[in-house]
Amino acid sequence: MPAFFVLDRYCQERPDDECALHLFSLICERVGHYDLAVELITKAITILEAKYEESEDPAIERQFTIANTNLGRLRVANGDFDGAVESLETALGLIGDDDSTESRVLRTQSCFVTGLSKFKCGDLNGAMEPFRLALGSAGEDLTMVGHVSVFLAQALWSLGGDEAQESAKSQLLQWYVGGPPSYDEALNSHPVLVSARTLRTWKLSTY
């Protein structure tokens, strides 16, 4: 992969270029080199943090926020779920209530991956709120709504009990039909879309 080798050489020659380190980290993610990706983006974050302390430039702060969002995702891929939550909490704290398109995307991704981290740690109740926040922030992004809906349903089903499992099925049905019909109406209009066996055997895919 030419981009990998070019960026590897460039970063060796210019180890303080945070943009190159960040980009190389994303390339490493694409080819499955998660340890190296985490190492590179952590270096980029350290450089950005030092630069922001000197300048308090909002553009650098935004780069720092994006880098922490990506680090959270990489840590999940690497099995470091507690570290992922820490990075994502940093990102969410910096995003705050900003309602720009970019901030909504970052907020949605950060909440979603926080939910995944808690879910994979076995904290099913703790995963509920981040998933619901991600769903609310996703808006009309159908791809993101689909990802969040599936994992929210899986977490609900894993809680056990009739009420939680009915909620899981309802969540999937609402996403599938693209609106908020009642559960009975949706079930009468469509065959059962997912079984208990399917819900229990879903696997975490990288987002």
The series of mean pLDDT values per 10 residues for the chain, 207 residues long, is 88 95 94 94 97 95 96 93 95 92 90 89 86 84 75 70 66 58 35 30 34
pLDDT at 136: 85
Domain borders along the chain are 57-201
Q: 107 with 92: CB under 8 angstroms?
A: yes
pLDDT at 140: 75
pLDDT at 178: 58
How far is Cα of residue 185 from the mean position of the Cα atoms in its chain?
32
Q: Indicate the pTM of the whole model.
A: 0.75
Whole-angstrom Cα distance, residue 48 to residue 26? 17
pLDDT at 56: 93
Q: What is the pLDDT of residues 41-53, one digit of tens each?
A: 999 999 999 999 9
Give the architecture (CATH level 2) of 57-201: Alpha Horseshoe (1.25)
pLDDT at 185: 38
For CA atoms 166, 172, 173, 179, the dihedral sign is positive
